[in-house]
Chains A and B, each alone.
Chain A
Amino acid sequence: MTIQQMLAAMLPGMGRSFAIFFLTLFGSLILGVLVALVRKSRFAVVRGVIKVYIDIMRGTPLMLQLLVWYFGPYYLFGWSIKGWRFPAIILGFVLNYAAYFCEIYRSGIESMPVGQYEAADVLGYTRSQTFLKIIFPQVFKRILPAVTNEVITLVKDTSLAFTLAYSELFSIAKQISAAKTSFMPFVIAGVFYFVANYLVTFGMERLEKAFSYYK
């Protein structure tokens, strides 16, 4: 098998890895905001539930969580859902990453000095104006480095989908390597993850630079 043939065989896997990456990023960045808002709920029960959720997501391996989402419906309720594999993967990734993003948003918001809120209050800004115009833009800048770290981890974590025998890049690399007794597929996969993260870092650095006009 030539390298070109290997690449061709691995290409669909790269596409699937990309799909996991983008769906997770999109879903968890948004869900993270919702969780961060609900986390401030007036109701202690709601806050408690959110805290337990975050603790479980951060305290157990993502691989285990993926297995639970995939096999849970069958073992718990006897349901076998057709085509559940991919949704289970996305569900597991999004719920897991949303917990981390929620924590990043929270610490970003809590790092804002109270004087910013007070200055806006005295000037007559409404609560939503204060958040949208004064607080959010500064929080956004502050959390960029932490978000970059999560995104880099996510690129590598997409390979965990192999746990559920989903044929993304890493699974295919393993198969080809075993079938052809070749080390090459792992090198190709490694280069792919490395390049993907290089691009992520490059993009995020550009973004950070775009916000470096103030301190």
Chain B
Amino acid sequence: MVLEMNHIQKAFGDLKVLEDISLCVDKGEVVSVIGPSGSGKSTLLRCATFLETIDSGEILFDGETAASTPAGHDRAVYAGKAEIRRMKGLFGLVFQQFNLFPHYDVLKNVTDAPVTVQKRDRAEAEETAMALLRKMGLEGKEHAYPYQLSGGQQQRVAIARALAGKPDILFFDEPTSALDPELTGEVLRVIRELAEENMTMVIVTHEMPFARAVSDRVIFMSGGVIVEEGSPEVVLGNPSHERTRQFLKNYSQ
């Protein structure tokens, strides 16, 4: 298992956002998470990537415990700072709003974390970055600044940046929701290519045909719980829960 999240609880004040959610992802698996706005999809990814702390439950990456709730405790306990920082190298996160560093050019956006955080050799990091940028169809853009790029190009830089740390798993939080419709295709295409190369991924998305095409498994979340989970054919094609059907019906209109 690359990722194990067990019995995750998360509340913001009185608002329970995740209620006993479990999500395990095997190596090479592509999992899509769908569900209405406010159902806790982003919070789930933010908990997995340590941007939010869970209230209780368990998070493991590659079998190593990042957070757990020992018997007798009612709150989760996290691993030490150094271990958590090291584990951040095991995953990457692609944001809806790209969040590129505007003062760095494309190449530095992709290489700065490997060099600064992982202490990798700059020449090697740049070589890796150039290969990634080529793969993202961004050849020749390495010295452009983010403001000079379209949204679709910026998001592809963000994907290259997330991949540059050589993560075992990549999380996407609605990677195309901030894009003009004509630019979503180019981003979905590179994600699909990654899926074909067996990159382990968890993708929150509203692009149903895309989810159907790339996913090994689809999870439908609503109100902080997993309502339904299974193969894309079943969850998206022939769901067994009324709430899933209702959601998909609203979406296909």
Answer whether A123 and B113 are a contact pair too, CB < 8 Å, given A115-B97, A214-B145: yes
Query: Interface digits, A102-135 against B, CB 8 Å rule (1 contact, 0 not)?
Result: 0000000000010110110111111001000110
Partner of A124 from the list B118, B145, B147 (CB cut-off 8 Å) is B118
With contacts A115-B97, A141-B103 taken as known, whether A123 is within 8 angstroms of B51 at the C-beta atoms is: no
- Asked if B92 CB lies within 8 Å of chain A CBs, one says yes
CB contacts (< 8 Å) of B91 on chain A: these are 122
Q: Is the CB of A123 within 8 A of B102?
A: no
B244 touches A (CB below 8 Å):
no
- A125 and B113 within 8 A (CB): yes
Q: Known contacts being A214-B147, A215-B147, is A125 close to B103, with CB within 8 Å?
A: no
CA distance A203 to B220 in the complex (A): 58
Instruction: List the A side residues contacting B113 at CB < 8 Å.
Output: 123-125
| Alpha-carbon distance A129/B113, docked complex (angstroms) | 10
B49's partner among A113, A122, A129, A214 (CB-CB below 8 A) is: A122
Chain A residue total in the interface (Cβ 8 A): 20
A-B interface contact total, Cβ < 8 Å: 57
- Asked if B95 and A115 make an inter-chain contact with CB atoms under 8 angstroms apart, the answer reads yes
Contact A123 B88 (CB under 8 A): yes
Contacts of B85 in A (CB 8 A): 124, 126
Q: What is the CA–CA distance of A129 and B88 in the complex, to the nearest angstrom?
A: 15
Q: Which one of A113, A118, A124, A138 lies within 8 Å of B103 (CB-CB)?
A: A138
For chain B, the count of residues having a C-beta within 8 Å of the partner chain is 26
Q: Which residue of the partner chain A has the closest CB to B51?
A: A118
In the bound complex, CA of A115 to CA of B178 (Å): 14
Residue pair B99, A116 in contact (C-beta under 8 Å): yes
Q: What residues on B are CB-neighbors of A141 within 8 Å?
A: 103
* B151–chain A nearest beta-carbon distance, Å: 14
Taking CB atoms, residues of chain A closer than 8 Å to B146 are: 214
CA distance A106 to B54 in the complex (A): 30
Chain A to chain B: the 8 pairs with minimum beta-carbon distance, closest first: A115-B99, A123-B113, A119-B99, A124-B117, A215-B147, A124-B88, A214-B145, A122-B93
